[in-house]
Amino acid sequence: MRLLFTPLLCLLLFFSVTHSRRSPDQYRVKIETTAGNFVIEVHRDWSPHGADRFYQLVRDGYYNDSRFFRVVPGRWVQFGISGDPKTAKEWRHRVIPDDTLVQHNTAGFIGFANTGPNTRSTEVYINTGDNSRNDKENGFAPFGKVIEGMDVVEHLYGGYGEHSGGGMRAGHQDAMFAGGNAYMDRKYPKLDKLVRAVVLP
């Protein structure tokens, strides 16, 4: 039987290969920002789906040139909406299944934000305080921890609080997805920038 590689079939094969990348069991990611750099150590056994997705997004350059748009001192720092509206739109609804909680949402641990069960896609948060009350909710399963530069994370600009990126569950982020960096820089010019994220050798 001869297999015909139609354009649609080729596209599906490409998608299945490039969007189902398994991460190493443990890896480190360096985040370069306008406030300094920090390093995240990811453990796949803490959150397999989360670790795989983060690895994929970092390797693909998804987070490069984006903004730390939701910074609430003593609680969390959130990022993960691409500065390019086209890229952000392509990834917005590519969700992954929930993982079972292994680590807790305490200072330094990082996980994917969500709007309900099985809705994690690209946005991540770093706990800068004790948010273990979120442990009981589906989806908030940390996949890594900041092991270097936590002081940088804690000093990212937080003057806008929830106003510059809160309301994920209420659907208040549409303008961010549609306008990208141009919108964020015009509306919230003091936000720190995520310059580049790279997987360390």
- Contacts (Cβ under 8 Å, ≥6 apart) of 45: 25, 102
Q: What angle do CA 39, 19, 78 make, to 5 degrees?
A: 40
Q: pTM for the whole thing?
A: 0.89
Domain boundaries, the chain: 22-199
pLDDT score, position 20 = 57
Instruction: Please say whether the beta carbons of 194 and 63 come within 8 A.
Output: yes
Amino acid at residue number 66: S
- Overall CATH class of domain 22-199: mainly beta
User: Looking at residue 96, what is its pLDDT?
Assistant: 98
Residue with tokens 């920038």: 193
Mean pLDDT, 10 residues at a time, over the chain (201 residues)?
A: 49 45 96 98 98 98 98 97 98 97 98 95 98 90 98 98 85 92 98 98 95
Q: If DSSP codes are grouped into helix, strand and coil, which group holds residue 180?
A: helix
127 - beta bridge partners?
A: 76
Amino acid at 49: H
Which distant-in-sequence residues (6+ apart) come within 8 Å of 192 by Cβ?
33, 34, 35, 67, 68, 71, 156, 157
**Collapsing DSSP states into helix, strand and coil, what is residue 55?**
helix
pLDDT for residue 137: 81
Q: Give 25's contacts (C-beta < 8 A, 6+ positions apart).
A: 43, 44, 45
Strands 109-112 and 70-72: unpaired
Task: Name the 3-class secondary structure at 136.
Answer: helix
What integer pLDDT is reported at residue 19 of this predicted model? 52
